Chains A and B, each alone.
Chain A
Amino acid sequence: MTVSAVGQRRSGGGYLERPAPSGLADVIDSILDKGLVIDAYVRVSLVGIELLTIDARIVIASVDTYLRFAEATNRLDLYEHGGKDLPEMIGQMQESGGRGRTKGILSGAKEAILGSDDDEDDDEELERAERPRRRPPSKAAARRRRSDSE
């Protein structure tokens, strides 16, 4: 796609947003469980990503989701009335604190998968590319677990 084509669309006042795929974290993250999986005996290691992705999904499907939805519904007050008196504002700040905690669990799981760009710390969750002789034995277990949860 050429730059001018993008420019034309923008000047046309399009309703459709056209972000770069790499600009949206969840779109890129969703690539984690996509793509052809080659035979286990050929590949050296397929990092522990499949497992971690599933762990993140389990967290999403928990009570935390309901609490998040409840909190979002309560935040509507701000939209409806604009100004708030102080006690209610404090209540809402506590709620968004709760929301932050919930989000922390989710993005924490994601970060365990990917780390962040500048994260050079050792991360025990991540396997190293290993020689076939030291191939981790857990692949069969990972596979079983994966099919169990789907």
Chain B
Amino acid sequence: MSESDELYYVYGVTYDDVKLPEGVDGLDDRPIDLVRDGVLAAVVSEVAGGHRIGRKAQLLAHCRVLDALASQAAVIPLRFGTVVAGRAAVADDLLGAQAERFKAILEQLAGRSQFTLRARYDEERVLTEIVAEDPRVAELREQTRGRPEDSTMNARIQLGELVSSALTRKREVDTPAVLEPIASYAAAYSMREGRGGVDQLVDVAFLVEDDKRSEFDRAAESVARALTGRVRLQLMGPTAPYDFVPED
């Protein structure tokens, strides 16, 4: 590596015969390009020296490039923020050094896409259930409602703990109801850590074979129908398989 090496933002690793999607720019509107080594290729764009990485628009660009690529070829997404100095380093140190590993992962991902399912409770409905089911919750609610936060802090924390553990129990019951009918149409699934809001039920990423997509879709639709009114289901995809690359 020399001081004159250009910096390259690396989106992911794919096969060398991939056709770059047209009209899809990379971070900071830089054109995307391929760096090849053997049958592998890294999808890259140049980074201006000293340019900052970590803005929302850049994360969106990262996903846009990977999702566009994933719609036409197997691609291994790299962690957002991966920068390598010089085309030679991308070819030799990144691709060449781990070619067998990358090929094995790409074979696993070929013909499959990620769909991400987000299940959210209707907040009003689930909280009403909890108040009705636990008299202690109802009582603590009476004690704290409309009172100053400072003087009722302990009761508030206690109320919140009860509601939190009641929500945890509900999630334990409801998660399989969401997951099981859909998961049988997926090659793999991976639970996601949600933000833990009151309405949080479950976030899960599915890896779906291309020829199972319509069955998968129908299964998700029928779960959404069965739970309607109490749980909202959102399905996003197909996207690049962000949740299905090996952990380091």
Spell out A's residues near B (CB within 8 Å). 1, 14-22, 24, 26-39, 41-49, 57, 60-61, 63, 65-74, 76-77, 79-80, 87-88, 91-92, 94-95, 98, 106, 113-117, 119, 123, 126-133
Q: CA–CA, A114 to B1, complex, Å?
A: 29
Interface residues of B in 211-239 (CB under 8 A from A): 220-221, 224-225, 228, 232-239
Contact indicator B54/A47 (Cβ below 8 Å) = yes
Name the residue of chain A whose CB is nearest to the CB of B239.
A21
Contact indicator B131/A42 (Cβ below 8 Å) = no
* Contact A91 to B116, CB < 8 A, known contacts A31-B63, A128-B50: no
The verdict on B160 contacting chain A, using a C-beta distance below 8 Å, is: yes
Report whether over half of chain B's contact residues are helix, strand or loop; otherwise say mixed: mixed
Q: CA–CA, A28 to B55, complex, Å?
A: 12
The verdict on B52 contacting chain A, using a C-beta distance below 8 Å, is: yes
A/B pair count, beta carbons within 8 Å: 231
Contact indicator A46/B81 (Cβ below 8 Å) = yes
B145 contact set on A, CB distance < 8 A: 74, 77, 88, 91
Q: CA–CA, A61 to B47, complex, Å?
A: 36
Interface residues on B, range: 35 or more
User: Could you name 19 residue pairs across A and B whose Cβ atoms are closer than 8 Å?
Assistant: A16-B235, A17-B232, A21-B237, A28-B63, A35-B12, A35-B80, A36-B77, A49-B81, A65-B160, A66-B159, A69-B159, A70-B163, A73-B141, A74-B146, A79-B124, A115-B55, A123-B52, A131-B3, A131-B85
Interface residues of B in 45-73 (CB under 8 A from A): 47, 49-57, 59-60, 62-64, 67
Name the residue of chain B whose CB is nearest to the CB of A47.
B81
